[in-house]
């Protein structure tokens, strides 16, 4: 929905989108970052004690680890994301929310596929490639592209890319 080098701008848009949600639970949110070496892993966990680390590959010496952190509110999510974005690619995902019904488009309230994500230093939801920009993603039911466009219009923006299959 938005690509920008200004993380504060991406987070401000995310906050506006959360305000358009029919309902959301502020602590229904987590951050995930990728550590591809020991130095990045150390910096991430030192910056946010309490983060959970999952290694991919052979034991605790694998070259890649996922570092996940649960947060309790938007401010905590913003602060943690800002810290981690200076270290590596990462994202914040609000997953416990509902998009409102849009009767004029034939769309009922959406819970199952309703998510909002800010990916830092990446153009993909998986943060698998580095980019100089941060990207705001609306997650919606497959085939409901009109919902993303409608949500974008509610916050004064537009969809900037084609739909992508997510997780």
Cα(71)–Cα(55) distance, integer angstroms: 21
Query: By three-state DSSP, how is residue 153 classified?
Result: helix
User: What confidence score (pLDDT) does residue 61 get?
Assistant: 58
CB distance 5 to 134 below 8 Å: yes
Strand partners, 91: 32, 119
pLDDT of residue 56: 80
pLDDT at residue 125 in the model: 92
Amino acid 3: pLDDT: 94
Cα gap 10→163, rounded to integer Å: 19
Helix, strand, coil tally for the chain in percent (to 5): 30, 30, 40
pLDDT of residue 147: 94
DSSP summary character for residue 63: S
| Dist. CA 39–CA 18, nearest whole Å | 34
Helix/strand/coil for 135: strand
pLDDT of residue 62: 55
Q: What is the pLDDT along the chain (167 residues), one digit of tens a residue?
A: 899 999 999 999 999 999 999 888 888 899 999 898 899 999 999 999 999 999 887 665 556 889 999 999 999 999 999 999 999 999 999 999 999 999 999 999 999 999 999 999 999 999 989 999 999 999 999 888 999 999 999 999 999 888 877 65
Q: What is the pLDDT of residue 92?
A: 97
């Amino acid at each position: 929905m938005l690509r920008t080098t200004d993380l504060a701008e991406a987070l401000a848009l995310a906050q506006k989108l959360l305000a358009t949600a029919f309902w959301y639970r502020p602590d229904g949110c987590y951050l995930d970052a990728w550590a591809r070496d020991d130095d990045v892993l150390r910096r991430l966990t030192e910056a946010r004690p309490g983060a959970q680390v999952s290694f991919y590959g052979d034991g605790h010496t694998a070259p890649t680890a996922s570092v996940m952190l649960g947060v309790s509110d938007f401010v905590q999510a913003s602060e943690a994301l800002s810290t981690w974005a200076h270290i590596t690619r990462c994202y914040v995902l609000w997953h416990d929310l509902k998009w409102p019904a849009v009767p004029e488009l034939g769309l009922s309230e959406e819970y199952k596929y309703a998510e909002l994500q800010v990916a830092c230093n990446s153009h993909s939801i998986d943060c698998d490639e580095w980019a100089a920009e941060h990207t705001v993603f609306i997650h919606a039911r497959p085939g409901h592209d009109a919902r993303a466009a409608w949500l974008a219009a509610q916050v004064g923006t537009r969809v900037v890319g084609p739909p992508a299959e997510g997780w």
